[in-house]
Amino acid sequence: MNLSTLFFVFAFLPVSLILYLVCPRVCKNALLVLISFVFYAWGSPVYLLLLLLVTVFNYCVGLDIGNCAELGQRGTKFLLVIGVLFNLLLLGFYKYAAFAIETLNAILPFTLNAPSAALPLGISFFTFQNLSYLSDVYHRRAPAQKNPLDFCLYVSFFPKMISGPIVEYAQFEPQLKSHPVTLYKVSEAVPMLVLGLAKKVLLADNLGAAFQSISALSSGSLSGGAAWLGAICYSLQLYFDFSGYSDMAIGMAKLFGFDFDANFDHPYLSASLTEFWRRWHISLGRWFRDYVYIPLGGSRVSTPKCIRNLLIVWILTGLWHGASWTFVAWGLYHGILLLLEKYPLKGILAKTPSPIRHILTLLAVIVGWVLFFSPDFSSAIFYLGRMFGTGSRAFWDSTAKYYFAANWKLLVLGILGCGPWIRTLYRHLVFSRRSPGLVLSALLLIGIFLLCVPYMTNATYQSFLYAQF
């Protein structure tokens, strides 16, 4: 179910919230589990059984790990390995089996048949959450969950089900017993929902339509200027698409009494790639840090091992985003650039003025997104070649002028939306503690929401990019 559809905004969410508010406190978690299952089954009914299977398995393994740890018995590590392997093999089958077989077919003298199973919605997100649960129980960062309904809620809670953020069990577990809905949480939730929706339907969807138009140009029609416009549109689309969904997820969680950490912190304002990745998809970066990078030794090891650890994390990050060699290359690209920032270029960058570092960071990120959206290396090389001047067409030709004239207002709004200014204005009005400020803030949110409605009604481009991951 798409979070930015009229049905979800005007029917599913309000009905769910009303039922939750009138439900007795002892039944609230059970009701949220039921709502979450309906939400998941709505978009992918076939895979609801898969979700239930995964949930039951991890619940049982986590319970066994916790019981063995409490009794001082051996075998907890074996149980952890079994649990991790099960989750990774399941993820591997649905997400990477076809990719692996296609790779083998390219080098083997015979052909293997690739499985054609559709990718279950949110499988990367709920797999990583299950892995975090098993690890947290094993390392005693959190107790094993004995209530099966509460564990189901952790795995399937619908606001974070298909779009994240990836919530670690140690953060979620203390909120299971008590997550009251307060006026303060509602006051935080509403602007997050409205502004997140606006990011998605006003900016991301329209930027996506512009990118699709440019990327559909024939090789002979794509000039350097048009290619740069397309890459910039995609860069902005991806940010508003995912950060908008994340804001909506965090806002919805607050409506049901749960608090999640922010998943984005204005990453395009960064002055280095290191800073960028601390601000982009924060929950994923934290997951890889806590469950891969640090267990490998982190930065507390020798320089060669630190380089190894960082490259492993970034290759895995690329693979997490998609089963393609272009995603692997994208991850390796960022891993190498981060190593250059960390070691040989550290002194030079420290002396470089911040505006220049900011521009260099944006260029590096935009170039990386070309690898991200390209279906194969030949497409990526061609597109990058156009961006950097290959081809017989003039850089700023009539095609580039046309697309710029058609989308410059959208680009300006997108660039302005990358900063904290709208949210800052809202908070300034709210916390002014003056009636005019409160009225203006309410009118601002109402106006933005009403502007979103016709776009939700008439939208022709509403795909959620991260649903494929």
What residues are labeled active site? 321
Query: What sign has the CA pseudo-torsion 26, 30, 32, 34?
Result: negative
Contacts of 217 (CB under 8 A, 6+ apart): 226, 399
What is the spatial distance between Cα 189 and Cα 254, in angstroms, rounded to a whole number? 6
Which runs of consecutive H residues, i.e. helices, occur in 108-223?
123-138, 148-156, 169-176, 183-198, 205-215
What is the spatial distance between Cα 72 and Cα 337, in angstroms, rounded to a whole number? 45
Q: Are 436 and 181 in contact, with CB atoms under 8 Å apart?
A: no
Q: Which helix (H) or strand (E) holds 358?
A: helix 354-373
Angle formed at CA 166 by CA 359 and CA 88, multiple of 5 degrees: 110
**Count of residues making up the chain:** 469
The rounded radius of gyration (Å) of the Cα atoms in the chain is 23
4: three-class secondary structure by DSSP = coil
What is the spatial distance between Cα 372 and Cα 328, in angstroms, rounded to a whole number? 9
Q: Are 252 and 32 in contact, with CB atoms under 8 Å apart?
A: no
Joined tokens for residue 81: 């390995």
Q: Are 310 and 326 in contact, with CB atoms under 8 Å apart?
A: no
What is the spatial distance between Cα 370 and Cα 46, in angstroms, rounded to a whole number? 34
Joined tokens for residue 441: 């803030």
